[in-house]
Amino acid sequence: MLVDLFGWRSVFYVNLPFGILLIFAAVRLLPRPADPDKKQIPDPLGTLLVALAVGATPLGVTEGGTWGWWDARTLACLVGVNNAGVSGVVRGERRSLDEMSVETLRSTLETNFVGAFALTHALLPALRTAGGRVVNVTSALATFARTTGRGPAGPADLIPYRASKAALNMTSVLLADQLREWGVTVCAVSPGYVATDMNNFAGSKTVQEGARTIVRFATLAPEELPDRAFVTEEGVVPW
């Protein structure tokens, strides 16, 4: 009700008295010292910090825009890493092409592709302002070079996952071209076969090893980043 009447700033005005109340309670509820002539008070600095935190946090959240915390130049200092990933496969089960559902395909695309694009699109003003970096975490399973090579292409129930990552790969190439003039770099990075919940922890790499690959390309100097390439720990691989 207070928010409806006075806006979110009212949360600050409510919490500040609450912080003062905490100070009063800390003083009153401390155990009495054995020597009545020796006064005991709480740590004044710690108590003050608690009170300020309780009162100032909502203010910072609500007034951050005024202070420039959400300014595009501030946000552009961050590197966008699109790491969303679901396989669309039920753990421990294999499904034939006939057993697959359109809903599984749709939900996998929503997470792996649409979600990544939506986040990047929302950050476009910030990325353009200071020249940011977008790292799309993908998979070698989504490359045509691997899919069209010798041997079977892979199980049918991985179609949603591989198709969604292939869409992300193409988007990475097109975004890199579209955002080049603003100094924004975009890359598609595969961390390799990492042991995660998605593959029932069967991967040959640890999460830390996979993360190192992503961080490497997220922090690489723009002139050292391969242009519109699919990169892995080993370097550039064919699309």
Q: Which of 42-51, 119-128, 147-156, 202-211 has the lowest mean pLDDT?
A: 42-51
Q: What is the CA radius of gyration of the chain?
A: 26
Q: Is residue 200 packed enough to be buried (19+ CB in 10 Å), middle (13-18) or exposed (0-12)? A: exposed
Domain boundary among 67, 85, 102: 67
φ, ψ (nearest 5 deg) of residue 4: -65, -35
The predicted structure's pLDDT at residue 39: 47
Q: What does the mean pLDDT of the chain come to?
A: 76
| pLDDT tier at 105, thresholds 50, 70, 90 | very high
- Residue 144's closest CA among 154, 157, 131? 154
What pTM, to 2 d.p., does this model score? 0.65
Residues 6+ apart with CB under 8 A from 124: 179
| pLDDT tier at 75, thresholds 50, 70, 90 | very low
210 and 112 inside one domain: yes
What is the CATH classification number for the domain harbouring 157?
A: 3.40.50.720
| pLDDT tier at 144, thresholds 50, 70, 90 | confident
- pLDDT per position as a tens digit, 219-228: 888 889 888 8
Q: Is residue 85 within 8 Å of residue 210, measured between CB atoms?
A: no
The residues that are catalytic are: 161
Domain boundary among 32, 67, 102: 67
47 and 141 inside one domain: no
**Beta bridge mates, 82:** 136
The predicted structure's pLDDT at residue 176: 94
151 and 61 inside one domain: no
- 196 vs 50: which has the higher pLDDT: 196
Residue 42's SS3 state is coil
Please tell me the distance from the alpha carbon of residue 194 to that of residue 75, in angstroms, as a whole number.
29
Domain boundary among 12, 37, 67: 67
- pLDDT per position as a tens digit, 161-174: 999 999 999 999 99
* H-only helix segments in 7-111: 9-28, 44-67, 72-75, 102-109
35 and 115 inside one domain: no
